[in-house]
Structure 1
Amino acid sequence: MNTIPEDSINTGVGESASSAELRFENLYRTLRSRICLLDYEPGTRLSEVALAKEFGVSRTPIRRVLGRLELEGLVEIRHGVGTQVTEIDFNYLCDVYELRMELASQLGLMSPLPPTEDLLQRVQATLDRASVVAEAASPRRLFAQVNIEFFEALMELIGNRALREVLVMLFYRSSRMWPFLMREDVIAMEAELFCNEIRETIQLIESGQLVALGNLRRRHIAMALQRLKLMSAENGRVA
């Protein structure tokens, strides 16, 4: 069982507020990851009681986490019904992708931060993991994981906090589209395209061309959206 001491979530009992918030953030990230990796599929009902038992906390912090996830469009809380993971609204998520595409170009324009050696190592690590996606035991899941890791690494280049917050929210709202739509027969091709994107990204980071990196991100998001639309039309999973 995952054990998060209750006083680590509810502040003021033998622990600083900052430490309690860190533990709350870890709980939030765990549940968000499960939703985005489809461990909790669309429509799954989430029990506050079961989650509180799993993580060793009261229902209060669980309710708080679920409220945050609802604001981000990942769950829906209905009075008298409970909490459910939201369904995939493909048309709406296409709108999200288009907004992400327009904002991506701001990466190198709005208070960009200088890349560090640690950042380059993290991006290189995503390339190493992406290169073995096709041979993985669960390729679709690994692809989704690496996609998240790559995105999180790039967020370290954004100094404008408001832009970063919006990009993070939009990314996680739409990230389920890949594991939800991607068929087994296209995983190898998508993984290779992803590897090429990461290689280009590394080159631009190493040369300090962050404006060009923002334009690269915009272009790849646009191309990814077109491929997702094609997948949706071909497999009929989303209306």
Structure 2
Amino acid sequence: MKDTVYKTIRKRILYLEYQPGQILNEKILAEEFGVSRSPIKDILNRLEWEQFIRVIPRTGSMITEVEFSRIMNIYQVRFEIESFEASLAESQFSSKHCNQLKDLLHACNNLFDKKDPKALTKIDISLRDIIHDSAGNPVLADVSDKLYAQTFRLWYSVLSKGGWQEEVTSVKTEVKKIIEWSSSGKPNGLVKIRKTQLLNHFDRLSRKFLGT
């Protein structure tokens, strides 16, 4: 039960159902989920450690703001972590992974005329899971996912700011390039694809978030 509540609250934060700056009250959350305040306190402490909330004495727990300067630093680390994971994934990428990517490609095509931000993020997360599975390093996957979560809110916040088809095209392009690479087996091909797409992703988010 405790893990379910944690995942629900964390998901609400990531998908901006709880807005940055919003105060979460232990008592209200405990009543909503039908638990005592003790597990809620533990969950909020865990989310504070993950830097999604900040505990304010005698007030409650405040959802942290999306700070661009900090996210920029996180992306610098993501570039290196995800490039390294892609290098591991290259040697173990299989036909199973390729078939899974083809399913994602089909899912992308269905989103061009149907704006569904959660569905697009689900495809992106599934793509990451495929690479995690191919790389075969759960510790690295865990680190990568924690960094991804720290930048997720920035991406989700700009999905409603226009350029929907541009966002779908970006995800689709990466999936398509990886499928094409899997047929050629070109050395360091997956690394280059992941690094290029992540750089483009960051540049696009910077432009939309900062309005430049």
Deviation at 1:175, TM superposition (A): 0.8
Take 2:187 and 2:136, find their aligned partners in 1: how far apart are those partners? 12
Scaled by the length of structure 2, what TM-score is found? Answer: 0.83
Deviation at 1:224, TM superposition (A): 0.9
- The correspondence for 1:176, drawn from 126, 150, 153, is 153
Amino acid at match of 1:198: V
Take 1:86 and 1:129, find their aligned partners in 2: how far apart are those partners? 32
- The correspondence for 1:37, drawn from 15, 27, 32, is 15
Of 196-205 and 97-106, the range deviating more from structure 2:
196-205
Determine whether 1:75 maps to 2:53.
Answer: yes
Scaled by the length of structure 1, what TM-score is found? Answer: 0.75
Q: Deviation digits for residues 15-71 of structure 1, max 9, x if unmatched?
A: xxxxxxxxx1x4333222221111112112222223223333222222222222222
Contact 2:89 2:135 in 1 (8 A): yes
Of 218-227 and 112-121, the range deviating more from structure 2:
112-121
Determine whether 1:159 maps to 2:159.
Answer: no
Change (3 A) 1:66 1:133: farther
Take 1:171 and 1:65, find their aligned partners in 2: how far apart are those partners? 20
Does the residue aligned with 1:57 lie in a helix, a strand or coil?
coil
Change (3 A) 1:85 1:65: same
**1:169-208 maps to which residues of 2 (within 5 A)?**
169-205=146-182
Structure with a larger share of its residues in helix: 2
Change (3 A) 1:187 1:54: same
Matched with 1:12 is none
Take 2:169 and 2:13, find their aligned partners in 1: how far apart are those partners? 25
Deviation at 1:207, TM superposition (A): 6.2
Could you tell me which runs of 5 or more consecutive residues in structure 2 were left unpaired when the two chains were aligned: none
Q: CA RMSD in A?
A: 2.8
- Identity %, equivalent residues: 25
Could you tell me which runs of 5 or more consecutive residues in structure 1 were left unpaired when the two chains were aligned: 10-23
Q: Deviation digits for residues 133-174 of structure 1, max 9, x if unmatched?
A: 3433x5334333433333234322333333222211110000
Take 1:210 and 1:54, find their aligned partners in 2: how far apart are those partners? 52
